[in-house]
Amino acid sequence: MSEVKFRELRNTPPMVVNFAKAVLRATVKPGSNPTLPDVGLRLNDVSLDEKHLAAYRKVCGFAADGKLPVTYPHMHAFPLHMALILTDGFPFPAMGLVHVRNSITQYRPIAEREQLNVKCFLGNLQKVDKGYEFSIFTSVSTGGERVWESESVNFFRSGGGNSSKKKNASKPQPATDTVEWKVPGDIGRRYGAVSGDRNPIHLYPLSAKLFGFKRQIAHGMWSKARCLAELQYQLPENAFTVDVQFKLPMFVPATVKFENKPANGGSDFRLLAKDGIKPHLAGQISPAK
């Protein structure tokens, strides 16, 4: 991949404009040899919006403690993600993408009042079984210090393709902590109002059916945030990484089970359907490398 050419933004890209562009680019096709544009976006001096942070904490379950929730910087990054995948030359339609994995590394707790510099870029495009995967990388700094970064892996289904590497499935070990949650049917609308991610598959049964789902599904990043809110007071103060793999869609309303157990200096957690078997999310917390 060539050197990334970053473009400075004065303001956060409006999500209404982003979704309008997504509709206009709905017929984009990758062709036989897709490539990613060598572009990145940078947004500096992002300040705290107290009402937005409070709304985010409420919908995800975080308590106010003077620090940003570990998933909160994604709120600043997501409009940039959308703008990147709507860039001229991007080979896939935004509406056809599925968020399959997400990794966040927090190098230290971020205080609420710190001004943040956010930059995002594309990379790691590869052909996998039945389509393509690519990453959106995000780095957040303050005062020249890197404090947070993430990798969001997205999948575009196109049929055929090379088989992706199969991982040996390990037998799940018993959890040391299990909690049952009731997830309301409007969680997608509530999280969408905060995050700006109003993808129709998350909103209403009818809008979800237009995209092949039997009813609306919860956002993957809401599921990750809700899990970490449950673990808020167990998260390390030192640098750590949270990896999650998004599994089966969570159709809402739903009853789910959250499981957590210590593992390798951190913890493993899962979000399961009511039956305790079907997985919605699997995650690992570990010291940052």
CATH number at residue 66: 3.10.129.10
Q: Are residues 131 and 215 in the same domain?
A: no
| 94/231 same-domain check | no
Q: What is the pLDDT of residue 161?
A: 43
101-110 per-position pLDDT tens digit = 999 999 999 9
136 and 269 co-located in one domain: no
211 and 144, same structural domain? no
32 and 161 both lie in a single domain = yes
- Own/partner pairs for 280-283, CB < 8 Å, 24+ apart? 280/223, 280/246, 280/247, 280/248, 280/249, 280/250, 280/256, 281/220, 281/223, 281/224, 281/227, 281/244, 281/245, 281/246, 281/247, 282/244, 282/245, 282/247, 283/224, 283/227, 283/242, 283/243, 283/244, 283/245
What is the pLDDT of the chain when averaged over all its residues? Answer: 91
Mean of the pLDDT values across residues 218-233? 97
Give me the pLDDT at residue 167, please: 45
Which among 77, 57, 75 is positioned nearest to 66, based on CA atoms? 57
Residue 207: Cβ within 10 Å count: 17
pLDDT score of 160 more than 70: no
Task: Name which residue leads in pLDDT, 214 or 199.
Answer: 214
Residue type, 192: G
**Same domain flag for 147 and 260:** no
Q: What is the tens place of the pLDDT at every residue in 162-202?
A: 434 444 444 545 555 789 999 999 999 999 999 988 888 99
Residue 174: strand, helix, or coil = coil
For residues 111 and 174, membership in a common domain is answered with no
Say yes or no: 130 and 214 in one domain: no
**Mean pLDDT across the stretch 21-27?**
83
More confident residue, 266 or 175: 266
Choice between 194 and 32, residue whose per-residue pLDDT is larger: 194
Given this model, what pLDDT does residue 19 score? 78
Report pLDDT for 95: 80
Domain end call among 147, 166, 185:
166
What whole-number percentage of the chain has pLDDT above 70? 93
Q: Give yes or no for a contact between 243 and 103, defined as CB atoms under 8 angstroms apart.
A: yes
Does 216 lie in the same domain as 137?
Answer: no
Are 205 and 215 in contact, with CB atoms under 8 Å apart? yes
Q: Given this model, what pLDDT does residue 159 score?
A: 66
Q: Do 193 and 126 sit in the same domain of this protein?
A: no
229-263 pLDDT, tens digit each: 999 999 999 999 999 999 999 999 999 999 999 99
Span of 9-23, 59-73, 153-167, 209-223 with lowest mean pLDDT: 153-167
Identify whether residues 122 and 148 lie together within a single domain: yes
Overall average pLDDT of the 13-32 stretch: 84
Q: Based on the structure, what is the number of domains in the chain? A: 2
In terms of residue numbers, what domain contains 87? 1-166
Same domain? For 236 and 157 the reply is no
Domain boundary among 115, 131, 166: 166
C-alpha 262/C-alpha 177 separation (Å) is: 10
pLDDT at 204 over 50: yes
In this predicted model, what pLDDT tens digit does every residue of 51-84 receive, in sequence order? 999 999 999 999 999 999 999 999 999 999 999 9
Q: Which of 112, 144, 166 is the last residue of a domain?
A: 166
